Amino acid sequence: MARYIGPQKKVLRRFHLLPDSPVETNTQSTGRPNRKSVYGIRLDEKQKLKFIYGILERQFRRYFAEARKNPANTGFILMQLLERRLDNVVFRLGLAKTRKGARQMVNHGHVQVNGKEVDIPSYNVKVTEIISLHPKLAGTEATAKLLEETKEAVVPTWLQRKGTGGVVKSLPTEDDVQSDIDLQLIIEYYSR
């Protein structure tokens, strides 16, 4: 697969996702700062969102095309589709420390949806579906330790955590989606 497996901090610093990352000012030999074009700013915002959710360009375009078909706010529908991915739901429930870890859990068949094993990270969860860890995995010491560490994780209002799993109570609302992403720039990028 074509996932990014390089240094994570480098990318996090580039997108200013680290809490202590300073704003970098690149200077040419003349001492003038390099300014990004409008296109470059839009591209960076799209790349940032793709990196956060760990998806590739083709899949991201499909999500955007699906969101554009909906008559509601395109940016909000796009974020709703990304938030409802199974790997993201596992992460949001606190069953994994990171989205990459949640993706790996799903790929290895450790996650069940309504009692059936699902190994597709992009599976789009629906309202009232029950997400749980596989009973074999749920009984291990490592899982108990992980669940204890993530017990204090803030679960969004559209999800409800129950033991080694959770329930999708409703669809994500605008308050639940990530606010540090400028969705208008992404819409403008694909509208050019």
Helices of type H across 33-95: 38-53, 57-69, 74-83, 86-92
Predicted pLDDT at 1: 46
Per-residue pLDDT of the chain (192 residues; tens, 9 = 90+): 467 788 888 888 888 787 775 555 555 556 667 788 999 999 999 999 999 999 999 999 999 999 999 998 999 999 999 999 999 999 999 999 889 999 999 999 999 999 999 999 999 999 999 999 998 888 888 888 888 888 777 889 999 998 889 999 999 988 888 778 899 999 999 988
Nearest of 155, 156, 158 to residue 171 by alpha carbon:
158
> Which residue matches tokens 């559209």?
158
Same domain flag for 98 and 163? yes
Are 122 and 59 within 8 A, CB to CB?
yes
Same domain flag for 137 and 114? yes
Predicted pLDDT at 150: 81
Same domain flag for 55 and 76? yes
Same domain flag for 96 and 112? yes
**Rounded to an integer, what distance in angstroms lies between the CA atom of residue 11 and that of residue 19?**
13
**Rounded to an integer, what distance in angstroms lies between the CA atom of residue 11 and that of residue 22?**
13
Give me the number of domains the chain comprises: 2
Same domain flag for 74 and 98? no
Q: Name residues whose C-beta falls within 8 Å of residue 25's C-beta, 6 or more positions apart in sequence.
A: 33
Residue 26 lies in a domain: no
Same domain flag for 59 and 100? no
**Rounded to an integer, what distance in angstroms lies between the CA atom of residue 78 and that of residue 45?**
14
Predicted pLDDT at 25: 53
Q: Which domain holds residue 185?
A: 8-20+34-82+177-191
Are 67 and 81 within 8 A, CB to CB?
yes
Same domain flag for 53 and 69? yes
Identify the three-state secondary structure at position 70.
coil
CATH code of residue 134 = 3.10.290.10
Residue 29 lies in a domain: no
Are 132 and 165 within 8 A, CB to CB?
yes
Same domain flag for 78 and 13? yes
Residue 156 lies in a domain: yes
Identify the three-state secondary structure at position 173.
coil
